[in-house]
Amino acid sequence: MFDTLSDRLTAALQTLTRKGKLSDADIDATAREIRIALLEADVALGVVKTFIARIKERAKGAEVSQALNPAQQVIKIVNEELVGILGGETRRLNLAKNPPTVIMLAGLQGAGKTTLAGKLALWLKKQGHAPMLVACDLQRPNAVTQLQVVGERAGVVTFAPEPGNGVGDPVDVARRAIAEAKHAQHDVVVVDTAGRLGVDEELMKQAADIRDAVQPDETLFVVDAMIGQDAVTTAEAFRDGVGFTGVVLTKLDGDARGGAALSVREVTGQPILFASNGEKLEDFDTFHPDRMASRILGMGDVLTLIEQAEQAFDQDQAEKAAEKLSSGQLTLEDFLEQMLAVRKMGPIGNLLGMLPGAGQMKDQLAQVDDKHLDKLQAIIRGMTPAERDNPKMINGSRRLRIANGSGVSVREVNDLVNRFFEARKMMAQMAGRFGF
């Protein structure tokens, strides 16, 4: 899911990273690419239009950030807007003050309601609840048995009409189930309802009757993420016919384009609570808009890195360092300060791991070791302020003193000093070439 969309979005945003400064034309061109990517992923047109308009407005009006370059800023905006259309904050399940909490499932046949009932039951059980499933899908042959099977697998009780009585009345079953749940002290009741292959009036009426009978605390609209644009029309029909308080996306493991996920929340105004991504009962979890957005953007945790860079950035210090860098005046004191600033962002291996493409560099990353940096820090701290300011004065006897003081060998002190000189020379040359 989302692979094509991720590839296209990443490509659109990556062209920006090669530019130092962004013009309005650059932003327009990127917005166009993003628009095509979203439309191809089957996101509803109205949603695409609003999204693109917001990106353009915010990117063009963006304040110059000292911590982020323009490309990073646009990535940040796109990410924030993605989180926004996916619902913003993670929405948790509403539990009733007076149990049992009643959760009703609605949606088309094949959307994954029955499977979801089992997943939800297992999930609730793991959280310490005592759920009960209720079979109100009396239409589809085998639906009751199927629910009993998933209930058994989840290790929860299923309330079902006795077999052999012909097609029962789902409203009556629902009512009796709630009474039974109270009696047997189940604190959450999950009501599975019938679906049709398409939306029809009879289906809506039955779902509405069950709703009136059980007064659900949550009505969850279950939608197959693979049905693309149809998800939006179906969602609207259920919103108007039964009403729902939340959405569950199923089959996110499929290879479809994923537009449903991006459209449903925006079109219906109701949050996505859960996502299902497989046939097993464990393939299910709370839906987190922020995590989903970064998955769609396909940029590893580069977004976390952007956030941390903003937090760790110290304007004065950076300007001073840049000035010294270009004039070849960088001292070991500056070097230490820079190192501490970077390390404020977390263990260095983690930081590098967050960069896109880091997946293939795992072996090298494993060698970047915080202990090594600790050692460098200790060596620099073992120097006098004068030595840090003017590393040229660090002669043989000083090196021996520093080594003894910081518990390392003279060779390690030599290494650090020599590499510092080389780096300073290289940076001064680069600074000259790139004009900063």
Binding annotation for GTP: 107-114, 192-196, 250-253
Question: Residue 189 forms beta bridges with which residues?
Answer: 102, 132
Segment holding 133, helix H or strand E: strand 131-136
Q: Starting from the edge strand earliest in sequence, which strands make up the sheet with 188-193, in order?
A: 157-159, 131-136, 188-193, 101-106, 218-224, 246-250, 272-276, 284-286
Least distance (Å) from ligand GDP to the CB of residue 223?
A: 10
Looking at the Cβ atoms of 114 and 263, the one nearer to ligand GDP is 114
What are the binding residues?
107-114, 192-196, 250-253
Give min distance, CB of 150 to ligand GDP, in A.
8
Nearest distance, CB of residue 194 and ligand GDP, angstroms: 9
Listed in order, strand segments (DSSP E) in 178-265 are 188-193, 218-224, 246-250
CB of 109 vs ligand GDP, minimal distance in Å: 4
Residue 210 beta carbon to ligand GDP: minimum distance, rounded to whole angstroms: 15
- Supply the DSSP string of 361-405, one letter for each residue: GHHHHHH--HHHHHHHHHHHHTS-HHHHH-GGG--HHHHHHHHHH
Q: Do 194 and 164 touch, CB atoms closer than 8 A?
A: no
Comparison of 32 and 280: residue with beta carbon closer to ligand GDP:
280
How many distinct helices (H) and strands (E) make up the chain?
A: 20, 8
Nearer of residues 13 and 154 to ligand GDP, judged by Cβ:
154
Query: In the complex, what is the shortest distance from the CB of residue 186 to ligand GDP, in angstroms, rounded to a whole number?
Result: 21
Which residue has 């990117």 as its token pair? 59
Beta-carbon count within 10 A of 316 CB: 7
Q: Is 269 left (phi over 0), alpha (psi -120 to 50) or beta?
A: left
Q: Look up residue 132 and give its two tokens.
A: 């009960």
392's CB contacts (< 8 A; 6+ apart) are: none
Q: Which is nearer to ligand GDP, 119 or 399 (CB)?
A: 119
Rounded-to-integer distance, Cα 16 and Cα 78, Å? 13
The footprint of ligand GDP (CB under 6 A) covers: 107, 109-115, 195, 250-251, 253-254, 276-279, 283
Choice between 10 and 109, CB closer to ligand GDP: 109
99/278 with CB nearer ligand GDP: 278
* Token pair 């590499």: residue: 419
Burial of 229 (0-12, 13-18, 19+ CB in 10 A): middle
Strand pairing class (272-276; 284-286): antiparallel
**Nearest distance in Å: CB 178, ligand GDP:** 21
Integer Cα distance of 50 and 261 in angstroms: 16
Smallest gap, in angstroms, from Cβ of residue 406 to ligand GDP?
Answer: 56
Nearer to ligand GDP, 227 or 380 (CB): 227
Between residues 115 and 206, which has the closer beta carbon with respect to ligand GDP?
115
